[in-house]
Structure 1
Amino acid sequence: MMHKRYTTSQVKQIINASGDIFADNSINILLTDSRRISNPSGAIFFALSGRRNGHEFVAEAYNAGVRDFVLKQQPEGYFPEANLLIVEDVLLALQKLAAYHREQFDLLVIGVTGSNGKTIVKEWLYQLLSADKNIVRNPKSYNSQIGVPLSVWQMNEKNDLGIFEAGVSTVGEMDRLESIIKPQIGVLTHIGSAHDEGFGDRDEKIIEKLKLFKNCRLLVYNYEQMLGYKEEIQPPERFIWSRNFNQADLYVFSEAVIEKNYYLRAMYKGDEIECLIPFKDEASVENAIVCWATMLALGYSAADADDRIERLTPVSMRLELKNGINDCSVIDDSYNSDVQSLEIALNFLSQQNQHQKNTLILSDIYQSGLQEDVLYKQVADLVKAKKVNKFIGIGAALEAHSNLFEVAEKSFYPDTAAFLNEMHAHPFRNQTILLKGSRSFEFEKISRLLVQKAHETVMEINLNALLHNLNFYRSKLNPGVKVMAMVKAFSYGSGTYELANVLQYNKVDYLAVAYADEGVALRQAGITVPLVVLNTEVSAFDKLTEFKLEPVIYSFGLFDEFIKHAQDNNIFNYPVHIKIDTGMHRLGFEDFEIETLCDLLEENPYVRIQSVFSHLVASDTEEHDLFTLKQINAFEKAFTQIEEVLGYKVIKHICNTSGIIRWPAAQYDMVRLGIGLYGIDACIPPAENLLQPIATLKTSISQIKKVLAGDTVGYNRNGSLAKDGRIATVRIGYADGYLRAFGNGVGTMLIKGQLVRTVGNISMDMCMIDVSEVEVKEGDEVIVFSNKHPIEELARQIGTIPYEILTNVSQRVKRVYFYE
């Protein structure tokens, strides 16, 4: 069954747009991102205005073949074959079209919301109900004002059940989502502190979320959470579950851990029933109870619900980017497979530029609701559109449809075991490999063979958080201000091309590195965005010009040497950046040197000045604000002189991360975003700080020992316990970047949600922590820093700055990058 199609004239009428129609096209694809065009035929582009104005990308979408556009105003440029539909609010138009599409189908729809667990509950309900229902649902966690309409747009006539989650961040958003989803059954998951910042208080947030259910006939919810909100609960039928209230529809009165499972007993309709949950953590248990209650409310028998819940599998909502064997990069998405999440994964694959070749290893896709011929034609079209170089299909259905795949190099296997037996025939080397499989195919066996082995200390980098932070600062910029992202020093210890690819894909204007070698590595990894080298060395001039790196010129000696290099190599108008010293006294031309510099720049054919910049010494500190003003004034005087001599405008920039927030008038043409990109900015008040730390450093326990009071621990016998207890040895030491200063109780780590202190000196490869008060076992995870145990706290413990903590993490610590 193909997606329902609409004509351009129908869409125009539905969204109440103005504008002439050049050709009445057939539309079945909604686009909101010009970078993700896989099939321009049948697509309509919505130029959304957010942190980036979608109107800036109309030309890009038009050149890719899109001919239908929804806009707020006429775009700049010439688009002779385009249908330009003009509306007052482009986002509202997208939502109106999705709401109209929803009205065309008469099927049962479950709406899910809450603070935590929405995506897990939605995915588990999909697992539980897909045996006898053809289900349409949000891909991944597409639950926003944009994600919900894109999700509902997937509905087709084969579906007999919809499960859609809705997330809101402030008042007034849920009414729009309710009008698109139109659920008849409501499911409320855990209400916690997530997204509190967008609301006046917790009550306001709960009332907003309950608006999703205003037209439902039935609501499933936890009794304790909704005490005090009876008036706000509008559905006439209610299915209540509780672990305390014995009059609830589902009263869970007994809970016990049995090996790796959680055993529940409950009262339901006067009978005692049971449920075995294949998880033990509290969040999973609560989410499973929500699913249990929902199944019972839908009329499933207690025995059927128990049988299905016992077979629940974990939900992985993130793609993991890891270093692979033979200089490969591996994108691991081994646990779920459907067309929508495949497209998301392929988009992420297309962002990777570090290798010229890519490979997709894909399993059969289950429960799509489509006929196999239609399904695998869609898959083959996606693979072709995303320019996959090598395709490996695993599963009987893919093997049967191998003729659909137009890939230069392709092979097919009936199952994972058959592929593993023949894996030696595939020389994986210097390429990006995407693993995308349904859980039953056990692609983790392939992943173990492809991913580089490393010791169990890992730094996880959240690429979504990086993008969130970038967009947070973009929202603080004056119109037209560019962004230079700092990726020097291995991106503050966080990675090289892995982060640069994300920043380039999200259209930062410049990247900055410290030395030419860093820039060369990024160019060799496929980074094409302008790259500035902050610490230019004469010995690296050849590399600069060979790899099109733009040097910072900060002294007359360096200027003379570069001009000589340009003359010797017949180079003209090479882009360079001029640094002015306005008070840092580190690098740069001082005020008394500007006149001489101008003489050298006047009518100089060998260089073209791209930017003039300086560096604020204390932009984050109020007590030095007068000095900051003095720096800004000196900078303005310098760039005014330089521009007068040049006869053309240059990019001016002086604001670093803290300057962006505290000195908006000094944003000029560009800002340099550094540590804030990684989630740290001391100048933002805690109540207003929406930054997300991007890094989590974790290790594990290798051994646990009982230690008597007074027994010494570690080198030089410096450590001991005041009373009998237990110590755990963990796999991190100063060679990994956990400094010796953290030893002897100074440093803390997080284990099982509890902070524990170090004992004794930090060794090169390991250290000891006091776990006397925590129930732990060998192999348990230990958090060195994370959003719950922030880097700022570690910096405070040893009297340093967060930069040092982050950049100190050794290169031997494996980085894993994930994208949700």
Structure 2
Amino acid sequence: MTLTLPNIIPILNAKTNGKPENFEIDSVSIDSRSLQNGAGTLFFAIAGPNYDAHSYISNLIENGVRNFVVTHIPENLEGKAYFIIVENTLDALQQFAAWYRGLFHFPVIGITGSNGKTIVKEWLNFLLGPDYNIIRSPKSYNSQVGVPLSVVSINENHNLGIFEAGISTVNEMVKLEPIIRPTIGLLTNIGSAHDEGFSNLGEKIKEKLKLFTHSDILICHKNKTVEAFLSQKVTTFTWSCKDESADVFIGKKPMVDKTVLKIRHNGQVFEIKIPFQDDASIENAIQCLMVLLHFGYSHETIEQRMELLYPVEMRLKVKNGINNTTLIDDSYSSDFQSLKIALDFLESQKQYKKKTLILSDIFQSGLDTDELYSKVSQLVISNKIQRVIGIGETISAYKNKFANCITFKDTEGFIDAFDTLSFGNETILIKGARTFEFERIVLLLEEKTHETVLEINLNAISHNLNFFKSKLKPATKMMVMVKAFGYGNGGFEIAKLLEHHHVDYLGVAFADEGISLKSAGIKLPIMVLNPETTSFQSIIQHELEPEIYSIKGLKSFLQIAKQRKLEQFPIHIKIDTGMHRLGFEENNMDELIAILKENKSVKVKSILSHMATSDDVSFKDFALSQITRFEKLSAKLMTGLQIHPIRHMLNTSGITNFPDAQYDMVRLGIGLYGISNDAEEQKQLENVGTLKSVISQIRTIPEGDSVGYGRRFIADKPTKIATIPIGYADGISRGWGNEKGFVTIKNKKAPILGSVCMDMLMVDISNISCKEGDRVVIFGESPTVNEIAKALGTIPYEILTGISQRVKRVFYRE
């Protein structure tokens, strides 16, 4: 949605200074470091306890930002930009977001509670994603700043919102409610997080319930304490595992590594399985189940989708540790309620009988210190923790409450003593408040794997899929290309996700790719774009659907089809409209019609063509001539055979540049993987693949020494270099070496020195503080695949598909 400054200024009740160069606003920002800030950005200069964004306005002006919401104009900047002057920039951001939210009228789920908000949000996005174009809070953007930034990301293509709201004290929710304005409320677990901000539990509940003041319905656990603070105007949809008067009554039964939920609702009973056994995950899953029931999903759909839920590694992360240990990383917070949840999670995830708890001082408990650590001791005993390592002055004072306990006053003390401690064949829960910097402990205990991996973000794939779906007419089908090992990203895992999202077709280049997917259990129809005649038997055997592009190929397939007595086997007819690669031409049409007219062995499932210049608008006339030719030849074929098959010719760039030629289906390719040749569209896509490695070795070479084969780099001063275990055998072009290319270490560019070797490359880290074992980004957010392709004079396809299959693919959801 295009916003203009004249629309915005009255909302903020602001004064102005200067003349705007551009009235249109395409983004809102509060981060002065963002490289996305530009002429269309409206920058809110927010002042926090440790920073004031007004200090960075001068740099932003140099980088092209022209429109600012400020409390004052910084010295010497008057007349250099357009300033919207308000009393409080945070209030202004919230006012703007609330106004912006009012421009949209689709269902919005508002989530609040003490625990589970982010997980429930991410799971709901997964469960509802196949049917809705969802806007949701990124990561844990649930604060006074995070919520408005989430909401102003809504666009006209969204038809469902899911937003978190987090508060730490009174009078905060009243500011977030008009920004989220949820039509559907969801109250998750109420625990002790942020208890210090409230005088009692009742005040905390009352404040959280303000989010649902205007909601049509509130979904929550049936709880007398909560009900005591609910307005009679609020309609509830409740669940319980104990109170049978709840709208939904649920029984739980553990089964191996799953939990079976027996659900009673509206006089009907059905069962689902979820892949968890810990209480926190079960409760979060039930919250999601309630939303699906409210939305009217069938029991079958609920069962299918709920079983696919996955761990969300935002707070509790399972990692491999040194000496055959498993780490449960929960270095996000330290309060009593989350400790209980973490210990429960530890029990469900343990791989070893021996269990160790590394615990910092506990905050936000709402209990006095004696009672708190007595309760913690009881938890440790009940969870059969064999060893406790306490870190902090308070827990050190209560050391005698724990058996087999060693304590340190701070994290530094633990690190100094690390070599004297023994860890092995155990599961370790690392639970600490952020002020203790327990990530340093995790780093010590985490297994160091010097491996190169290509990490694939499945959430980003879903986002990009939905982005292109939003460009289609309601009846237009979608084929997604997973050829070339999913453009280098991996085949089966992506195909499985696409199947979950109900795409209509998958496309592969050769039969073996399709056979691999079918053998792995993919049930979607798969079209083989470049079938060789020798693969026809296998194509038929595995129920793949061949593209037929020549008379010779058609006759060969029909001969086999006749021998196997096939009837109405689906085939796809390729027409050459100007690409001149594969396909029937106009002079083949009569013969093609004659062969197919009386043939019962096959059925023309679709007619397709391929555009040669859909990505280059300078060839628009040629592209339109291809569309015209396709219309003419496909119509002739349809008339001659008296059929109405699917027609399709648009690829990724065609979807954007030629929307009137969608026909019955489009073919989404590299756009799914976050790549566009359109700069504006690229901003809308999410990065899917991040190629990572590690630093194997660091050395400093003197002036005059060289690096790599052929001495193509000679140091003109002492130079610190790092060796990275990835080379041209992994798919890194030799042309990317010799200081033309770079990698990213600690968010800084490290130029590649000398020639790229077969299995290694060397980079300059003279200005980067790093060490052996640190992570290196080869491509992802920086450098991007587009950047590398442009520098090498090639296309992103070549960069992605060139990554060797010896590089391990790791799939994850944020």
- TM-score interval, smaller chain: 0.5 to 0.7
Partner of residue 471, structure 1: 466
- Are 1:217 and 2:170 matched, yes or no? yes
State the distance in 1 between where 2:167 and 2:455 align. Answer: 40
Asked if 2 retains the 8 angstrom alpha-carbon contact of 1:709 and 1:723, the reply is: yes
Q: CA deviation at 1:474?
A: 0.6
State the distance in 1 between where 2:528 and 2:162 align. Answer: 49
Q: 1:546 to 1:759 in 2, by over 3 A?
A: same
2:750 to 746, 756, 759: 756
- Are 1:680 and 2:675 matched, yes or no? yes
Letter of the 1:583 partner, please give it: G
Q: 1:212 to 1:718 in 2, by over 3 A?
A: closer
2:527 to 514, 529, 532: 532
SS in 2 for 1:787: coil
State the distance in 2 between where 1:191 and 1:736 align. Answer: 42
Partner of residue 709, structure 2: 715
SS in 2 for 1:578: strand
Letter of the 2:804 partner, please give it: S
Partner of residue 144, structure 2: 188
Q: CA deviation at 1:195?
A: 7.4
Q: CA deviation at 1:745?
A: 0.7
Asked if 1 retains the 8 angstrom alpha-carbon contact of 2:147 and 2:165, the reply is: no
Q: How big is each residue's C-alpha offset from its partner over 1:346-372, in whole Å with a ceiling of 9 and x where there is no partner?
A: 9586499xxxxxxxx9x9x999999x9
Asked if 2 retains the 8 angstrom alpha-carbon contact of 1:336 and 1:438, the reply is: no
Partner of residue 338, structure 1: 281
SS in 1 for 2:545: strand
Asked if 2 retains the 8 angstrom alpha-carbon contact of 1:138 and 1:148, the reply is: no
Asked if 2 retains the 8 angstrom alpha-carbon contact of 1:504 and 1:529, the reply is: yes
Asked if 2 retains the 8 angstrom alpha-carbon contact of 1:215 and 1:234, the reply is: no
State the distance in 1 between where 2:306 and 2:175 align. Answer: 41
Q: CA deviation at 1:732?
A: 0.7
Asked if 1 retains the 8 angstrom alpha-carbon contact of 2:275 and 2:309, the reply is: no
Q: CA deviation at 1:627?
A: 0.4
Q: CA deviation at 1:574?
A: 0.9
Partner of residue 514, structure 1: 509
- Are 1:297 and 2:197 matched, yes or no? yes
State the distance in 1 between where 2:594 and 2:465 align. Answer: 39
- Are 1:606 and 2:601 matched, yes or no? yes
- Are 1:807 and 2:801 matched, yes or no? yes
Q: 1:333 to 1:788 in 2, by over 3 A?
A: farther
- Are 1:545 and 2:540 matched, yes or no? yes
Letter of the 1:500 partner, please give it: A
State the distance in 2 between where 1:474 and 1:754 align. Answer: 35
Instruction: Name the count of aligned residue pairs.
Output: 497
Q: CA deviation at 1:718?
A: 1.4
Partner of residue 772, structure 1: 766
Partner of residue 567, structure 1: 562
Partner of residue 703, structure 1: 697
1:642 to 630, 637, 654: 637
Partner of residue 558, structure 1: 553
Alignment of 1:659-674 (within 5 A): 659-674=654-669
Asked if 1 retains the 8 angstrom alpha-carbon contact of 2:118 and 2:164, the reply is: no
Q: 1:212 to 1:696 in 2, by over 3 A?
A: closer
Identical-pair percentage: 37
- Structure 2, unaligned runs of 5 or more: 1-103, 129-134, 178-190, 201-273, 290-303, 311-325, 356-382, 387-426, 432-446
SS in 2 for 1:142: helix
Letter of the 2:556 partner, please give it: E
Q: How big is each residue's C-alpha offset from its partner over 1:689-710, in whole Å with a ceiling of 9 and x where there is no partner?
A: 3111210001110000101122
Q: How big is each residue's C-alpha offset from its partner over 1:460-515, in whole Å with a ceiling of 9 and x where there is no partner?
A: 00001101111111100012100000000000000011000000111010001111
Q: 1:647 to 1:794 in 2, by over 3 A?
A: same
Q: 1:793 to 1:644 in 2, by over 3 A?
A: same
Q: 1:215 to 1:814 in 2, by over 3 A?
A: closer
SS in 2 for 1:467: helix
Q: CA deviation at 1:604?
A: 1.1
Q: 1:507 to 1:210 in 2, by over 3 A?
A: closer
Q: CA deviation at 1:788?
A: 3.6
Q: CA deviation at 1:621?
A: 0.9
Letter of the 2:197 partner, please give it: A
Asked if 1 retains the 8 angstrom alpha-carbon contact of 2:491 and 2:517, the reply is: yes
State the distance in 1 between where 2:561 and 2:163 align. Answer: 67
Q: 1:487 to 1:340 in 2, by over 3 A?
A: farther
State the distance in 2 between where 1:719 and 1:341 align. Answer: 56
State the distance in 2 between where 1:597 and 1:556 align. Answer: 7
State the distance in 1 between where 2:584 and 2:162 align. Answer: 57
State the distance in 2 between where 1:797 and 1:583 align. Answer: 29
SS in 2 for 1:507: coil
Asked if 1 retains the 8 angstrom alpha-carbon contact of 2:615 and 2:654, the reply is: yes
State the distance in 2 between where 1:716 and 1:336 align. Answer: 61
- Are 1:738 and 2:699 matched, yes or no? no
Asked if 2 retains the 8 angstrom alpha-carbon contact of 1:351 and 1:502, the reply is: no
Letter of the 1:754 partner, please give it: K
What is the TM-score of this pair, normalised by structure 2? 0.53
Q: 1:521 to 1:466 in 2, by over 3 A?
A: same
Q: 1:782 to 1:581 in 2, by over 3 A?
A: same
Asked if 2 retains the 8 angstrom alpha-carbon contact of 1:394 and 1:416, the reply is: no
Partner of residue 578, structure 2: 583
Letter of the 1:580 partner, please give it: I
Letter of the 1:567 partner, please give it: K
What is the TM-score of this pair, normalised by structure 1? 0.53
Q: How big is each residue's C-alpha offset from its partner over 1:529-555, in whole Å with a ceiling of 9 and x where there is no partner?
A: 001001111111111111000001000
State the distance in 2 between where 1:724 and 1:192 align. Answer: 49
- Are 1:782 and 2:735 matched, yes or no? no
SS in 2 for 1:140: helix
State the distance in 1 between where 2:617 and 2:574 align. Answer: 25
State the distance in 1 between where 2:700 and 2:452 align. Answer: 24
Asked if 2 retains the 8 angstrom alpha-carbon contact of 1:94 and 1:149, the reply is: no
Q: CA deviation at 1:810?
A: 0.8
Partner of residue 747, structure 1: 741
Q: How big is each residue's C-alpha offset from its partner over 1:64-92, in whole Å with a ceiling of 9 and x where there is no partner?
A: xxxxxxxxxxxxxxxxxxxxxxxxxxx98
Q: CA deviation at 1:721?
A: 2.3
